[in-house]
Amino acid sequence: MEKVRTTDGYRTLVALAAPIAGIQLAQVALTSVDLAMLGLLGVSAVAAGGLALLLYNQIRTMCVGMVTGVGNLVATAAGAGERRTGTGEPDEQARQEIRTLLRSALLVATLTAAVGAGVLCGLALALPLLGQRPEIVTLARAMMFTLAGGLFPMIWLNVLRQFAVGLRRPGSLLAVTLVSIAVNAVLNLVFIHGWLGMPELGVAGVGLSTTVVQFFTLGVFASAVRRDAFLRPMVSLAAWRADPAVVRHMVKHGTPICFTYGSEAAITSIATVLMGLFGPVMLAASNLANQLAYIVYQVNIGLSQGSSILVSRAVARDEPYRARIIARQAFTVSWTFMAVVSLIYIVLPQVVLSPFLSSEADAAVLATASTLLFFAVAQQYSKGTQNILVGLLRGLGDTKSGLRSTLVGYWLVGVPAMVLCAYVFNWGGWGVWSGLCCGFAATAFLLGRRFRALFGRR
């Protein structure tokens, strides 16, 4: 019996995780299109646009963190309803709870987006304080202003996404995002060059196209949700009817996730800045290695969110044995996938790096990036494991351990280790990556210890 459940569990986990991983990879492609379009405008545009996107992604990541737990809350309500009915369908009480959760989540999303947009605009005004050249400040500021409005549809979309994933109906997400990539490319050209009677906005046009695409994606996905016969009865978009108690619970539940995500984005940014101090070759090679590790990381995000939702449902159904099976399956799939990719990275470094380098690329960049791939492999194991552990703990209702562990692992171990290895041991850029790996490994260890302790009590 358990064997059947285990086999079925793999299929369920992959079916839920694959669309999430797919949309994460599609988001990477979306950003890549923006960077490619900026490249058509010159070096200053790339520098300014890259700075704007870095700051925007920091705020965006934290905003998404505030509503990531919505999927777990929806899955818990659905699982409790299924337990009461004894079937795979939630009862009317659960449906009403889910409608309340969705309304409240949309209010939290709106308030979060408003704060995020305010912070992004504030950072745009404060750019001169960062020592940037006036030309870079002007271009980056214009792009940041146009990106700010896109936080609203982006986080509303994430609420609907978590609602659908929490009910194990994520199928249409990937298709929507793939269409959005094509729409984004067209709008980039329209707004940058002033086609079809539009004003010629240059760098700001890239930000505006991203914002428009966010509204487009929201509209398409909201329409798909409303057409889903299973989801439609539980859809309630009346944010003004949010339950204050549920809103407070969501804020309390989401704040640790928000800062956990923000902390992870921040340590990566610090590592990038430090790599830049060791010259353009080391920085370029580091960016390539990080991009390859980042691609693998998207698969682990899918597994993390998928397993998190399934654990929440299992706990609500009072099936702790199933939660243990899900945890084992998530690690098995993750480590197997990373083992295959790691082998490719180590054996065929030139093959995986060639798409990012032109024929005239400096041989030193290729050689350095090939070596850094060994560090990328170590990083992806630690970072991927910690991400799955964060998801599993969230599925068990624990969102605070992720924040505590990252504060210790990143800031008390990772950052000091980067500085120590790079400057005291004189390992240079290799030291930065060594310290980064130490930070992720320490965080994974702390999360693993917490997970074992929490599971031992169930």
Q: What average pLDDT does this structure show over 199-225?
A: 86
How far apart are the C-alpha atoms of 356 and 278, rounded to whole Å? 21
Reported confidence tier of residue 244, pLDDT bands at 50, 70, 90: very high
How far apart are the C-alpha atoms of 141 and 37, rounded to whole Å? 18
Q: What average pLDDT does this structure show over 228-248?
A: 89
Q: What average pLDDT does this structure show over 419-424?
A: 93
Residue 3 has pLDDT above 60, yes or no: no
How far apart are the C-alpha atoms of 407 and 401, rounded to whole Å? 10
Report the pLDDT value the prediction gives residue 358, as an integer from 0 to 100.
Answer: 58
Other CB atoms within a 10 A radius of the CB of residue 416 amount to 13
Reported confidence tier of residue 4, pLDDT bands at 50, 70, 90: very low
Spatial contact of 369 and 288, defined as CB atoms under 8 Å apart: yes
Residue 360 has pLDDT above 70, yes or no: no
Report the pLDDT value the prediction gives residue 413, as an integer from 0 to 100.
Answer: 94
Residue 103 has pLDDT above 60, yes or no: yes
Higher pLDDT, 357 or 420: 420
pLDDT in tens, 387-399: 999 999 988 888 8
- Residue type (1 letter), 290: N
Instruction: Write down the mean pLDDT value for the chain.
Output: 84
Reported confidence tier of residue 456, pLDDT bands at 50, 70, 90: low
Report the pLDDT value the prediction gives residue 105, as an integer from 0 to 100.
Answer: 94
Element (H, E) at 209: helix 203-227
Spatial contact of 191 and 182, defined as CB atoms under 8 Å apart: no
pTM of the model: 0.82
Q: What average pLDDT does this structure show over 6-10?
A: 63
Q: What average pLDDT does this structure show over 3-32?
A: 70
Tokens of 182: 């094509």
Q: What average pLDDT does this structure show over 409-430?
A: 93
Report the pLDDT value the prediction gives residue 25, as an integer from 0 to 100.
Answer: 74
pLDDT in tens, 273-305: 788 778 777 877 787 787 788 778 888 888 888
Report the pLDDT value the prediction gives residue 173, as an integer from 0 to 100.
Answer: 59
Spatial contact of 274 and 432, defined as CB atoms under 8 Å apart: yes
How far apart are the C-alpha atoms of 136 and 128, rounded to whole Å? 9
Q: What average pLDDT does this structure show over 58-75?
A: 89
Spatial contact of 46 and 35, defined as CB atoms under 8 Å apart: yes
Report the pLDDT value the prediction gives residue 107, as an integer from 0 to 100.
Answer: 96
Reported confidence tier of residue 454, pLDDT bands at 50, 70, 90: confident
Which range among 61-65, 361-365, 431-435 has the greatest average pLDDT?
431-435
Reported confidence tier of residue 81, pLDDT bands at 50, 70, 90: confident
pLDDT in tens, 181-196: 888 888 888 888 888 7
Reported confidence tier of residue 457, pLDDT bands at 50, 70, 90: low
Residue 172 has pLDDT above 90, yes or no: no
Q: What average pLDDT does this structure show over 98-103?
A: 94
- Residue type (1 letter), 123: L
Closest-CA residue to 112 (of 287, 253, 281):
253
Reported confidence tier of residue 340, pLDDT bands at 50, 70, 90: very high
Question: How much of the chain, in percent, has pLDDT values that exceed 90?
Answer: 27
Q: What average pLDDT does this structure show over 64-86?
A: 88
Report the pLDDT value the prediction gives residue 445, as an integer from 0 to 100.
Answer: 94
How far apart are the C-alpha atoms of 389 and 330, rounded to whole Å? 10
Question: How much of the chain, in percent, has pLDDT values that exceed 70?
Answer: 92
pLDDT in tens, 141-169: 898 999 999 999 989 988 998 898 888 88
